[in-house]
Chain A
Amino acid sequence: MNKKFLLYLGCTIPTKQYAYEVSARAVLPKLGVELVEFEGATCCGFPLKGINKNAWIYMSARILALAEQYGLPVLALCNGCDVSLRETIFILNKHPGLKDEISKMLEEEELELKNNTRVVHTIELLHDTIGVKKIKSLVVKPLTTLKIASYPGCHAIRPTEIPRPENAKNPVKIDNIIKALGGETEDYPDKSGCCGATMLPYDAENAIRISAGKIRTLKDYGFDAVVTSCPYCMEMLDAKQEIAKSLLEDEELSIPVLYLTQLVGLAIGLKPGELGLDLNMSPVEDILEKIEV
């Protein structure tokens, strides 16, 4: 299978969550993936869906039309971007009238929308395109001493009406990758639950209560670390961990949080610095010690 992908970063990753971009750019080529820079790509519109759904669809459709010019499948690193682009494809295929309307807007910008771009998310790229067998064959630092939680994040799972990277009833792909890397994992309550990020603008304190609850569960289940593939989940679990600790006055609310790409990178022998691990705010050094990196 051709493994050339258009790298679509969205907003949060290239403006703040640099660790995801750094680790994806370092790890994916080692797994045989060629990443092509996506010139002129903008926000997918996901955070602005509440303002105007048609604006969101226009923004996502514009990304799809731009991608068609490259004739390559799109790799969306962010859960929000992935769901945004794929829901847009789904809606426009169902509503020819809306598709005509959006196509007209794009024609004014010399863009044509065929609406047949293939979009894949990091989880699918690793699990389905590259495959766990190949990943397993490249492991030089097996994560044998670690019990790691898989946290796909809402938008890798829902809405269930459209194709999603993970299955809502039983998300297992990240788990399979953890096992391929030599790590241990198990299910835990609300594994397919929400990190609370979208609530931040409305009620920051309660949003952090949601992510704090998640960390509490992970601690109760004895996990050494948690991996995610979403920049919003990362922001809530990793960057806001210190605030969660003081908000709930619970010093135990501390767990290393890593991007899936960072975890794969460690196991295939990349150095923490190459994977942007010094940018994670959670105590990732705890697991680095355990796997002797």
Chain B
Amino acid sequence: MPIAIEVLTSKHLLRIREIVGFQHPEYCYQCAKCTSGCTSAKVISEYKPHLIVALTKLGYIDELIKSGIIWACSECWKCSEFCPQEVSPVEVVLALKNIACMLGVKPPKAIQEMAKNVIETGYIQNPMNITTKDFELISREDLNLPQLKEPYKPDKWKEKLKLLIGGASNE
């Protein structure tokens, strides 16, 4: 399939440049050092950070988002450490995730759930009763840990977070 030239200057690509910040995806020369050290690639063979950078540069952003593969990144930053070109593939992947959410694609269920809780309570989850090896249920109170407080100015927190991440929460 020929590549339409407009994808190379698409607004998604420009947006990626903006989200990535101080790294330089355009410097990538496909040495694949990132993939050779990638945590996720070791267990998910389709996940190849150098390929994701290449496809992003070619504008195949909708395709990458649709494939869902971007969520396989372990965010361990090894690719960034190994990269000789200041590309930081993990930052490209994060930008792709951000764009996916901007376009209304939902992140994996557990992340939706975390987003919902963060908006409501300030934390990714409520304090749990945890089970010990002897099947005893233990709470924060049982351990004499102080009760968790609500966020500073909870109404402002909710209002802002709803705007910023509400679309990706599972409400």
Contacts and interface: CB of A to CB of B under 8 A. Distances in A.
B149 interface: yes
Given A39-B149, A55-B165, A203-B72, A50 B80 contact: no
Given A18-B140, A42-B157, A43-B124, A158 B43 contact: no
B39 A40 contact: no
Given A39-B149, A51-B107, A279-B130, A154 B124 contact: no
A14 B140 contact: yes
A200 B160 CA distance: 27
A271 to B, nearest CB: 14
Given A16-B128, A18-B130, A55-B161, A11 B123 contact: yes
Nearest to A278: B132
Contact of B118 (A39, A42, A50, A154): A42
A203 B76 CA distance: 16
Q: How many residues of A sit at the interface, in one of the four size bands? A: 35 or more
Contacts of A14: 123, 127, 140, 145, 148
Given A50-B71, A168-B81, A198-B73, A40 B151 contact: yes
Interface in A1-60: 11-12, 14-16, 18, 21-22, 25, 37, 39-43, 47-55, 58-59
A213 B110 CA distance: 24
B148 A159 contact: no
Interface in B34-66: 39-40, 42-44
A232 B158 CA distance: 26
A194 B127 contact: no
A287 interface: no
Best-surrounded residue of B74, B164, B165 (most CB of chain A within 10 A): B74
B74 A196 contact: yes
Given A49-B94, A53-B19, A39 B127 contact: no
A291 to B, nearest CB: 19
Contacts of A55: 161, 164-165
Interface of A: 11-12, 14-16, 18, 21-22, 25, 37, 39-43, 47-55, 58-59, 62, 66, 91, 94-95, 105, 108-111, 154-155, 158-161, 168, 193-194, 196-203, 206-207, 209-210, 213, 276, 278-279, 281
Nearest first, the 5 closest Cβ-Cβ pairs linking A and B are A40-B152, A158-B77, A42-B122, A194-B76, A201-B110
Interface of B: 19, 21-22, 39-40, 42-44, 71-78, 80-81, 88, 94-95, 97-98, 101-102, 107-111, 114-115, 118, 122-128, 130, 132-134, 138, 140, 143, 145-146, 148-153, 156-157, 160-161, 164-165, 168
